Structure 1
Amino acid sequence: MMRGGRSLVSSRPAFSNDGKKLLLCTANSVSIFSTFTGLQIGELEGHTALVTSVIVVPGTTSSKILCYCWTASLDGTIRYWDFAVPELMKTISINAPIHSMVLPALACQLIEGAERPLDQFAYISSQDMKQKDEQVPKWQILKCNLTKSRLCGGVILAKSKRPQLITVSPSGKYLGFCEKHKIRIWKVPAKDSDHAVHKTIRLHHTKELNTLAFHPSKRIVAAGDVTGRILIWKHFGERMFSVTDKLENGDVMDAKERPGVRGDDDADLCTTWHWHSTVVKVLFFSSDGAYLYSGGREGVLVVWQLDTGRKKFARFGSPLKYFTISSDPSLASVSCADNTLHLLKLPSMEILKTISGIQFPSSALKTYNGSSCDAALDSTAGIVAICTENCCIQLFSLLDDREISLVRVCERNHQPGDEITVIVNMVALSLDGCTMATIETRLHEEGIGGLISLKFWTSGSESKGFSLSTVIYEPHRDAGVSAITFRPAGKMAVSSSYGADFKIWVCSSGVQLEDPIINGGWTCHAVGSYKNKPMTAAAFSADGSVLAVAAERVITLWDPDRNVLVATIGESFEPISSLSFVGKSEYLLSLSKGSNPQLSVWSMSKMSTSWSCKMHAEGVSCAMDGLSFAVLALLCDPARNKAASNEASLKGVDGVILLYNVETPLPLATWFVKKARGGRISFVLPTDKSEADGKQLQMLCYMNSDHEYVLFDPYSEQLHNQKIIQRQRLVQSMDETGRFGYASIYGELPEFDLKPNQTSLVSATLPSEGRRPWETIFSGPSHALPPLPKLCSSFIESLLERRTAAVE
């Protein structure tokens, strides 16, 4: 089983102390990337829910090689890792989801000469699981003693109705968060303890604040609001944080004791800067405090000079989410909303490496009323083509979980946040993956100016990049395209339309012309229709000799070479949305949606229905060689479905994958899944996997509505016991050492059972049997021998004689 498609920008990343590694929160794990190659080199697995925070323990100048980090998750645990191995070293259970976590003490240097390490404290934004009332705040800022693995009883710094992102100052002296029209700042006690005093102030604003940042050395805080303004307060907390009043029992001193309206905030000066047109998402001070970095939906990182207010710009083309600087001031990272992370060289803003995850679903297609297919899969190569937000097609490898290339479909100056006028709403790939077709729709502006373009793209045999071959404007006059598919063999494609016709397109590559653009062009070979009905779906048979086109509720069969209607099959209750031939068999599948959804299996030899089933099917995929097919169905009402357990429904399960043999209506296997609405399934042929009988192994890919996917063997009897397959991309950079000693030479060792069955051990070590195991225990190839610590116990036991009575 392989998982991929996870978000790389769900939380703020963290650099290792030497700057050679970058730790990213990816779903339930933390992925470790090399900043030198941009490839994943490791992973921290153990959390059972989304990881929300990762914090690297800083090292001194002499201990930069140390690789320890803390992580927090929605599963309610805080974990301590050695990410050089990687190995889990400690787990602290909070029993409540953790949205954010900071460790102020890590920002301070270790106290030299201390007899014992001081207790480490974490401040977390956690949910109150006991509170059920919607009107009562459910989220609270708590304090946790990491050394003693428990919460500090009675210390609740704040409560809120929504989760808060806590920010800590680089010096570790202050922490704060935005709360509607104000920011709250606490001073961390110099000698923190379970019942230390926490003084707090509030700084107010007229607009809702979204993010904040602390100056590394001075008492300066900056905050960004929803209108694009940046406010900078200087010398905050002069009155409150300088008082020496002492409270007991862990109480929190509140700034309301000193009236704190906007005109009387505890700060000497407040300056406002304004460049961004929308909400400010990113604020970060440079390590020397001379510059302030800001970013938002414009996709532009603004570098402000703090003393003069002068600014310079770096554009990335996608809304910004996080900006992080490593211990090396010349290395930084910026996380973008398109699931891309750039490694930057400061101060030139040169992009050194780009780590690209799978693109998120386009928001434009969610509001588009026409037909759309935002992803197409090359089953033979395991590549998926995805329509992106900025009118591009991303080619993504499912087997390697990494981007291959990005194809720009529409040449336009895309600006995030602008009104959407052009979208790429459909993409299709040929069986060999060398040809791609896209549908580009220019939306109407007050009923004027709409345009639909069909584009064919070709790819070279050695390159995965696509180049434009043919552009066809208004392929079906002013009607929308409902589907497009390629013939398995030969340069032929068909597009169906709601305008009551379909067109067969052929590539004129066989005609040698002087113009290279015309030489590889696509032209219309034939046009077909049936009783002036909308053509809603199309599919070719495995050998390409039969073309099935759905004429609303009727399936029509055509000879694609001669464009002759061969036959028609039955009539469904609702318009057919999908057609698929089952491998090389005589069966054809049809899916219908609407108030009376149905899955139907048609026999071509009998020209009738073989069997049918009423279900809300979201997608279907057929095995490339065989009689199997899989259906992704929605659980519209889990309460009525007895097969869906209450436990499954509580976990957000809304769909099920059904594996069928085409000859029987009883499913062979079922898997409950999440985020099924808008998801898809497809069979994939891994290039490096084969079965014992010589047949190639077919894996099933399920991709949910967020483009997270899983690849698994649907025919495996031990599916739930399979481990995650480590991809070949988990390689070490040439400039770093990720393993030590034996593991660096021979790889990781398997787990050895140090407590074998006593009876077998006695029979193997009795001298009466004439065996001398101590002479052969070290025999064998060096790469197969376990290390000495594991051999020691077995060697000592082999020298000892055991009495038979000891077995009783």
Structure 2
Amino acid sequence: MAAYREGRVVVRGGADLVKNRPVFSSDSKYIFVCSGHTVKIFSAASGDCVRELRAHDGEVTGVVVNPQNKLQVFTGSMDGTISQWDYMDSVLLKTLYVRSPVCGLFAHPSHPDSLFATIFDEKSDDNTRLKLVKIKIPKQAGQCVDVVDQFVTGNVQAGDKGVAFGARGEFIATIMRNTLKIVFMKDMHLKKLSPDRTPLTCIACHPSDYCIAVGDEKGRISVWRNFHKKERRALEHWHSLRVEDLCYSPEGSVLYSVGHECTLVEWRHETLQKKFLPRQGAPINHIAYAPNSQQRALSLMTNAMLIQSHLTTTQTIQGLVRTNFNQKREDYLPIGLVIDPHTRALVTNGMVGQLQFYQLDEDRLLFSLDITGENYISPADLQQPLFHTEVEKVAFDPPGDWMATVERRDDKQTSPELRLKFWEFDQLKQSFVLNTVISEPHASRINCLSFRPSSSVSHDTHEPMAFTTSDDGKFKLWAAASDDDSQKKGRSWGCESVGFFRDEIPSCACFSADGSLLIVSFGNVVTTWDPDVNVLKKTLCHGVNDQHIEHVVFGHGSAAHCLISASSSVLNVWNLLTCTVMWRVNMNVSVLVADTESEFVATFDRSGNLFVFHPLEPKLVYTKQNLPTPSVMAAVFIPLTRTDSSSSGGSHLLPWEEHSHLYFVTKGLMLMTETSQLHQQRVSHADMEERLPPTPFAMLLNNQQRKAEKEEGVRMQDLPASANMREMLQAPAHILPPVKSLCATFLQGLLDPGTKMLKRKEERDMDESDEDSDQKSDSEESDMDMETAGGGAVNQSKDTGNGTDQSQDSEDHKDQSELQARSGGQYRTQALSEADLRRLAKVSRSGLKWMHKVFQEIY
């Protein structure tokens, strides 16, 4: 059966952040990093990825700031295009079509109308050599423009370490093998320097002087001076391995060099005296300096980038950690992909002897857990790397309370070291704490490790259980038991039973969904065991196929009785209720994984094809032919949460991904997933909605909301400094003056309204006392009217005057000058004592100058 809905493979993380040199923006606030087919823009202050530039179909090989507009960048790609971007809004302005893949992109302010690129030389014999060309930035309008390149020099090294501008752009220096070539831009004169046969690795030019620094494979740095007349060469040797990158500071006073020693070396330009900043954590691949001379970026070979200010690392940008930067082995991701039940993070191999917990939602490293307690040591020879203790297996029990790890070191000269460790999750520390260390749990390498499902504990005990299989021909069951002899109550792990089958070597194993059965494969035979008593129940063998079984998984849900086994060429589905083969198919399986939240099973073959099927039916639920990267090393189903399901929308998901998402990692450590095109378009549309103009209905709602906010602000106008606070909070942060200039004004705004409110309160109290006295006088005069007939006119005039005062008070309530006029004129001031009048006058004259004096002394 074909797929219900067309799917699409998308990259979800793990892209290489350190393959190319990072580039700072002109204001040093952002860092541009080439990452696969995109360019990620990171904030230098926070280290967060704030934007992404997506337009290329091929790998992005270079990014430069537009010499004519500092708010724009150019990006070059292997798809043969150069894109012009407004990076503040992530808007693609123009696409330049080059007739060859762009392997490097360069620019310099002294050549504002040109770009320089390294492309393939079609005139070379093998069509693999690169040449440096000059490309005029087109001025004509249009979204797509064809450009013509001008030849500068040929036979150029690939990457961004082989080309550099010097002396304010007066010359361009390139390297190839052991030759240094200098092209003077004024007359295009070419000069070559080749002192010896040592291959060159990187180059850097002084920004203002005629000086070139070149690094080579032996770790030496050659500094060439006065080469436009009669060259002088100074040779410095500190690095024990090859020099990875060189960089001058913007003013040219310091030369920086980096390499495999995990140390940043600082060389003074005039004297070549050196200083060191050691222990950077990993070999350094690139170094870039910010235009403000206050920050620099170091790219580590572990796919991390350090942002430093002077001698301090201010931010760390970490991608999916790469562990194979100096090791030559095929399986450099031995533990595959595992899910942490607590954090839902992806767990895989990190730095040497560490596990990395990777957050898929945010594409960032959550934290690393040191398992072996060993530091990285650079080797004496890159062709003979040192042997470190590596974490080869990891497993979590379903609740996430326990974690088991297997670490091994084998240098082929001394006795191998093998340790099985059990870690307990500490609720207070919110991390795993070492509980038990078992040295030499097997006589040979452990090839499988897993926990028993938590719902499968036996009737006699509630302790967790794990199993290991080894090349020594045995499998062992491990259980946690209480420490009766220890004064401190706790549990430790020990071996409960050992099993074997003939003289065969167990290759893989797994528990059933309910944990009642343990499946262990020996050669081409599948054996079933009762884990509680370690008794062999059944043996399953297909007579036609004699190949060794490499993968076994159990089905779940309605297919919980199905066992899927796969060898190098055949996939079998067994029915354990009848102990028969339900169906089989010829397939060269490389990865086999089952979804614990549904009945579906996914498999990858060695040709780069994905197949999803239901164990009960020999029909494909989904298939994806010819994946972009065929070498899939590991895969895992990650269960969806309620938030994920509601945000994704069930109708936009593939039917077999309604409960979980399938993630897989390639040999290039690219983390990918398979999703429907409708879901991908929905996610892209959600991102685009933030940049689209509002519809008329949205504008109407916005106006109504603003009107409501305005009315609310009118009701709140008597609150202290509400207008000042609203003005400061609504203003864009980049146009505000320094904070110290706003402090005095802001505090004055907080204090003055409070003083005015105090005055108004005293005025209302005075009015109320006047009204009380007027009412008392009126009552006395009304009593007199019964005796004297002439007092009515007087009382009427007084009542009229009092009403006039009340209307003026309501109209001129906010004016302080009129308040003083009323208090001295029309109001009956005889009701206030002289002390009250002096107190009122003192408050009205208060200017709070003492507060101004305090803040002037502070700032």
- TM-score (structure 2 length as normaliser): 0.72
Encode CA deviations 1:378-398: one digit per residue, 9 max, x unaligned: 478542222235221111122
Q: Which amino acid aligns with 1:325?
A: Y
Correspondence list, 1:122-271, <5 A = 122-128=115-121, 130=122, 133-134=125-126, 138-148=129-139, 151-152=147-148, 155-159=151-155, 165-169=162-166, 171-189=168-186, 197-206=187-196, 207-238=198-229, 266-267=230-231, 269-271=232-234
Encode CA deviations 1:651-684: one digit per residue, 9 max, x unaligned: xxxx011011112222122123133335222211
Structure 2 counterpart SS, 1:780: helix
Deviation at 1:313, TM superposition (A): 1.6
Deviation at 1:351, TM superposition (A): 1.0
Give the one of 673, 692, 714 matched to 1:749.
692
Deviation at 1:373, TM superposition (A): 3.2
* Higher-Rg member (1/2): 2
Name whichever of 228-237 and 136-145 sits farther off. 136-145
Q: Closer, same or farther in 2 for the Cα pair 1:139/1:444, shift >3 Å? A: closer
Deviation at 1:235, TM superposition (A): 1.4
**Conservation of the 8 A alpha-carbon contact between 2:563 and 2:575:** no
In structure 1, what is the equivalent of residue 32 of structure 2? 23
Instruction: Provide the rounded CA distance (Å) in 1 between the counterparts of 2:165 and 2:441.
Output: 57
Q: Which amino acid aligns with 2:347?
A: A
**Conservation of the 8 A alpha-carbon contact between 2:552 and 2:566:** no
Instruction: Provide the rounded CA distance (Å) in 2 between the counterparts of 1:593 and 1:777.
Output: 59
**Conservation of the 8 A alpha-carbon contact between 2:301 and 2:325:** no
Deviation at 1:719, TM superposition (A): 6.2
Instruction: Say whether 1:87 aligns with 2:61.
Output: no
Q: Which amino acid aligns with 1:80?
A: Q
Q: Closer, same or farther in 2 for the Cα pair 1:306/1:509, shift >3 Å? A: farther
Q: Closer, same or farther in 2 for the Cα pair 1:235/1:620, shift >3 Å? A: same
**Conservation of the 8 A alpha-carbon contact between 2:513 and 2:560:** no
Instruction: Say whether 1:336 aligns with 2:291.
Output: no
Give the one of 489, 493, 500 matched to 1:522.
493
Name whichever of 12-21 and 165-174 sits farther off. 165-174
Instruction: Say whether 1:586 aligns with 2:596.
Output: no
Instruction: Say whether 1:68 aligns with 2:72.
Output: yes
Q: Closer, same or farther in 2 for the Cα pair 1:370/1:675, shift >3 Å? A: closer
In structure 1, what is the equivalent of residue 636 of structure 2? 682
Deviation at 1:75, TM superposition (A): 0.9
**Conservation of the 8 A alpha-carbon contact between 1:505 and 1:524:** yes
Instruction: Provide the rounded CA distance (Å) in 2 between the counterparts of 1:535 and 1:374.
Output: 19
Encode CA deviations 1:189-231: one digit per residue, 9 max, x unaligned: 3xxxxxxx42221122211111110112211110001000000
Q: Closer, same or farther in 2 for the Cα pair 1:151/1:47, shift >3 Å? A: same
In structure 2, what is the equivalent of residue 37 of structure 1? 46
Deviation at 1:515, TM superposition (A): 4.2
Name whichever of 274-283 and 703-712 sits farther off. 703-712
Encode CA deviations 1:618-675: one digit per residue, 9 max, x unaligned: 111212232211101112xxxxxxxxxxxxxxxxxxx011011112222122123133
Encode CA deviations 1:754-779: one digit per residue, 9 max, x unaligned: xxxxxxxxxxxxxxxxxxxx9x8964
Give the one of 530, 537, 557 matched to 1:566.
537
Structure 1 counterpart SS, 2:352: coil
In structure 1, what is the equivalent of residue 406 of structure 2? 439
Q: Which amino acid aligns with 1:123?
A: F
Instruction: Provide the rounded CA distance (Å) in 2 between the counterparts of 1:77 and 1:231.
Output: 35
**Conservation of the 8 A alpha-carbon contact between 2:387 and 2:409:** no
Instruction: Provide the rounded CA distance (Å) in 2 between the counterparts of 1:364 and 1:544.
Output: 41
Instruction: Say whether 1:610 aligns with 2:573.
Output: no
Q: Which amino acid aligns with 1:682?
A: V
In structure 1, what is the equivalent of residue 453 of structure 2? 488
Structure 2 counterpart SS, 1:690: helix
Instruction: Say whether 1:623 aligns with 2:595.
Output: yes
Q: Which amino acid aligns with 2:191?
A: I
Q: Which amino acid aligns with 1:632?
A: F
Deviation at 1:570, TM superposition (A): 2.2
Instruction: Say whether 1:601 aligns with 2:573.
Output: yes
Q: Closer, same or farther in 2 for the Cα pair 1:370/1:723, shift >3 Å? A: closer
Correspondence list, 1:220-369, <5 A = 220-238=211-229, 266-267=230-231, 269-314=232-277, 315-346=279-310, 348=311, 350-362=312-324, 367=329
Instruction: Provide the rounded CA distance (Å) in 1 between the counterparts of 2:320 and 2:332.
Output: 24
**Conservation of the 8 A alpha-carbon contact between 1:17 and 1:58:** no
**Conservation of the 8 A alpha-carbon contact between 2:155 and 2:176:** no
Q: Closer, same or farther in 2 for the Cα pair 1:282/1:444, shift >3 Å? A: closer
**Conservation of the 8 A alpha-carbon contact between 1:586 and 1:605:** no
Q: Closer, same or farther in 2 for the Cα pair 1:452/1:602, shift >3 Å? A: same
Q: Which amino acid aligns with 1:686?
A: L
In structure 2, what is the equivalent of residue 47 of structure 1? 56
Encode CA deviations 1:51-88: one digit per residue, 9 max, x unaligned: 111112369xxx9xx53111111111111111111111
Q: Which amino acid aligns with 2:520?
A: V
Deviation at 1:424, TM superposition (A): 2.4
Q: Which amino acid aligns with 2:492?
A: G
Deviation at 1:273, TM superposition (A): 0.4
In structure 1, what is the equivalent of residue 114 of structure 2? 121
Encode CA deviations 1:11-30: one digit per residue, 9 max, x unaligned: 11111223222111110011
**Conservation of the 8 A alpha-carbon contact between 1:674 and 1:704:** no
**Conservation of the 8 A alpha-carbon contact between 1:495 and 1:503:** yes
Instruction: Provide the rounded CA distance (Å) in 1 between the counterparts of 2:171 and 2:431.
Output: 50
**Conservation of the 8 A alpha-carbon contact between 1:507 and 1:520:** yes
Encode CA deviations 1:684-734: one digit per residue, 9 max, x unaligned: 123322267899632111211122112334xx484675655989xxxxxxx
In structure 2, what is the equivalent of residue 384 of structure 1? 346
Q: Closer, same or farther in 2 for the Cα pair 1:658/1:722, shift >3 Å? A: farther
Instruction: Provide the rounded CA distance (Å) in 2 between the counterparts of 1:31 and 1:370.
Output: 26
Deviation at 1:121, TM superposition (A): 0.9
Q: Closer, same or farther in 2 for the Cα pair 1:358/1:371, shift >3 Å? A: closer
Deviation at 1:610, TM superposition (A): 1.2
Q: Which amino acid aligns with 1:392?
A: Q
Q: Closer, same or farther in 2 for the Cα pair 1:520/1:674, shift >3 Å? A: farther
Q: Closer, same or farther in 2 for the Cα pair 1:624/1:437, shift >3 Å? A: same
Q: Closer, same or farther in 2 for the Cα pair 1:304/1:159, shift >3 Å? A: closer
Instruction: Provide the rounded CA distance (Å) in 2 between the counterparts of 1:524 and 1:662.
Output: 34
Residue ranges of structure 2 left out of the alignment (5+ in a row):
1-9, 140-144, 380-384, 455-462, 652-656, 707-859
Encode CA deviations 1:134-163: one digit per residue, 9 max, x unaligned: 2x6532211111125554455352135867
Matched residues, percent identical?
25
The structure with the greater share of residues assigned to helix is: 2
Name whichever of 464-473 and 776-785 sits farther off. 776-785
Q: Which amino acid aligns with 2:539?
A: T
Q: Closer, same or farther in 2 for the Cα pair 1:408/1:711, shift >3 Å? A: same
**Conservation of the 8 A alpha-carbon contact between 1:220 and 1:235:** yes
Structure 2 counterpart SS, 1:689: helix
Structure 2 counterpart SS, 1:679: strand
Name whichever of 143-152 and 702-711 sits farther off. 143-152
| RMSD, matched Cα | 3.1
Correspondence list, 1:101-116, <5 A = 101-104=105-108, 106=109
Structure 1 counterpart SS, 2:448: strand
**Conservation of the 8 A alpha-carbon contact between 2:338 and 2:348:** yes
Instruction: Say whether 1:96 aligns with 2:100.
Output: yes
**Conservation of the 8 A alpha-carbon contact between 2:302 and 2:323:** no
Instruction: Provide the rounded CA distance (Å) in 1 between the counterparts of 2:400 and 2:240.
Output: 42
**Conservation of the 8 A alpha-carbon contact between 1:570 and 1:608:** no
How many residues matched?
Answer: 664
Q: Closer, same or farther in 2 for the Cα pair 1:121/1:236, shift >3 Å? A: same
In structure 1, what is the equivalent of residue 364 of structure 2? 402
Give the one of 610, 617, 639 matched to 1:664.
617
Deviation at 1:32, TM superposition (A): 1.1
Q: Which amino acid aligns with 2:115?
A: A
